[in-house]
Amino acid sequence: MLEIKTYRYKGHSISDPQKYRSKDEVEEYKAKDPLEIVLKTIQDNQFATTEEIKAINDRVDHMVNESVKFAEESPWPDDSEVLKDVYVDPNYPFIVD
């Protein structure tokens, strides 16, 4: 299991002016970005070339685009699905039959 703490650089929406944080704060957290840190480690240790990293990014972009296309072209689920697998069992994890 990995716990990766991240920071949202952009606002909640296009209309969010982000007046609740300074530009210095955003820049500070950009320097701590776990994705950028791992990428730098990969490059510094020559675990992958720039071309290999680009190929990985291209594959990921393709997978994401295919997933979006699948979702957009899929029919809406039946209304009966809305609460499926969403529940609270007061006996969990001590379920008694």
**What is the mean pLDDT of each successive set of 10 residues along the chain, which is 97 residues long?**
79 86 90 90 96 97 98 93 78 68
Residue 67 falls inside a structural domain = yes
What's the pTM? Answer: 0.60
Domain that includes residue 54, residue range = 33-73
Q: What is the pLDDT of residue 95?
A: 66
Residue 25 falls inside a structural domain = no
Specify the residue for token string 């990766």: 4
Residue 92 falls inside a structural domain = no
Q: What is the pLDDT of residue 81?
A: 87
- The CA-atom distances, in angstroms, between 34 and each of 31, 49, 60 are 9, 19, 18
Residue 89 falls inside a structural domain = no
CB 7 within 8 A of CB 31: no
Chain centroid to Cα 32, Å, comes to: 16
Please choose, from the candidates 95, 75, 78, 76, the residue with its C-alpha nearest in 3D space to the C-alpha of residue 87.
Answer: 95
Q: What total of structural domains would you count in the chain?
A: 1
